[in-house]
A = this chain, B = another copy of it.
Amino acid sequence: MNRDSDNGQALLDPSQSASVLTQVAALVGSELRDVDEIFREELRSPRQCVSDVLQHVTRFQGKRLRPILVLVTADACGGVRHAHKVLGAVVEMIHMATLVHDDVLDDADTRRHVATVNSRWSNETSVLFGDYLFTHAFHLASSLETAHACRVIGRATNLVCEGELSQVHERGNLDLTEDEYLQIITGKTAELCAVSCYLGAHYAGMDETVSRSLEQYGRSLGIAFQIADDILDLMGNEAKTGKTLGSDIEKQKLTLPLIRLLDQSPPEQASAIRALLSHPEAATRRALQRYLDASDALEYADERARHFVNDARRHLACLPDSPARRLLDQIAEFSIRRKF
C-alpha cells in the first residue's frame, strides 16, 4: 500500500502505454510543458540548498498522472485554460510532497532508481522539503482569482492526510476489513485524482453536476489504480518497480488480496497466515505465495479493481464524444494493466 511512484508511465502495460502517452502528448503536450514551467517557477529559490534538493527531486518525477488528469479532463470539457496549468502544477506539487514524506516514513533509499531526499540529505531535509512543497502548492493555488480552488484542494489534502494517518494507525491490524481498506486508499490516493478531474471540469466552465461526475471518475480511477499498485507490491520486486521494496508485508500493512485471503481461509489457516504476517521475514512472501496460489484472492482483487474502472468509465457518460474523452476512458482502462 505504498503510494504509487510513477504518475503515469508505470500506469500502463508497456506494449500499450506508447499509444496512450502519444495521445497525451498530442492532445496536451504543450500544456504539460507549461505546467512544468509553472512548477519550476513557483519553487525557484535564491537559496542554493533549496535549489539543490529541488533539482534532485525533479529527477524522480514520473509521467505526471495528476496534471494529465487535470488537462485531459479540461480538454474533454471544452478546453484547457491558464488556470488548468496552474492547477496541474499544484496537484503535482502536493503529490510530490506526499512522496517525499512517504520516503521518510518508509525509510526508503531509492525511488525510481534515484536516491531519496532522506538518503541523500537527511530526514530533516525531507520533512522540511515536503513542507516546502505543500506550502508552495497552496501559495500557487491562491494565485487564482477566487479562493474556490484553495477550498477544494484544501479539503482534498485534508482527506489525503487523514487516509495516511489511518494507514499508519492500522499497521499491524491483521483484522482490517475491505471497507476500512477502501476508506484508507480513497483518502490516501484517490482524493487527489478526484480533485484533479473536478478542477479540470470546473475551470473549463462545467456545471457542478458534470464536475462532480468527473470527480467521481477520478476517485474510482484512483481506487482502481491503488488496488493494482497493492497487488503489484505483493507480487513485484525491486528491480522492476525501481523503489526500495519496503513492501506492505514488511510494514504489516494489510492490502486487498490479503484481506480476501484471510476472509476466505478456514480459521486454522487464517491463524497460520496471521502468524506469518505478524513476523514478516524473507521467507514470508514465498510462504504466502502458496496460500495465495490456492485461493481466489488475487482474482478477487483484480475483479474489485475492474469494478472501479467500470465505475470510473460510467462517470464519463455526461461528456460528449471527443478524443480527450476517449483518452480518459483509456487511462481508466489501463490503470489496472500495469506490469511493473
Contact = CB atoms under 8 A, between A and B. Distances in A.
Interface of A: 45, 47, 49-50, 53, 97-98, 101, 104-105, 122-125, 127-132, 134-136, 138-147, 150-151, 153-155, 157-158, 160-162, 164-166, 168-169
Contacts of A122: 168
A124 B162 contact: no
Contacts of A153: 138
Nearest to A140: B154
A144 B145 CA distance: 13
25 contacts: A45-B162, A49-B165, A97-B131, A101-B131, A104-B123, A105-B123, A105-B124, A105-B128, A123-B123, A124-B168, A130-B131, A131-B134, A131-B164, A134-B134, A134-B135, A135-B154, A135-B161, A136-B158, A139-B155, A139-B157, A139-B158, A141-B154, A142-B151, A142-B154, A143-B147
Most chain-B CB neighbours within 10 Å: which of A45, A50, A150, A166? Answer: A150
A304 to B, nearest CB: 23
Contact of A147 (B50, B142, B165): B142
Contacts of A138: 138, 150, 153-154, 157
A125 B162 contact: no
Contacts of A128: 101, 105, 161, 164-165, 168
Nearest to A48: B169
A143 B151 contact: yes
Copies in the complex: 2
A175 to B, nearest CB: 15
Contacts of A135: 134, 154, 157-158, 160-161
Contacts of A147: 142-147, 150
A144 B142 CA distance: 12
Nearest to A145: B147
Contacts of A53: 165
A13 to B, nearest CB: 33
A58 B151 CA distance: 25
Given A142-B151, A151-B143, A104 B132 contact: no
A260 to B, nearest CB: 24
A122 to B, nearest CB: 7
Most chain-B CB neighbours within 10 Å: which of A105, A134, A155? Answer: A134
A71 B320 CA distance: 52
Contacts of A124: 105, 168
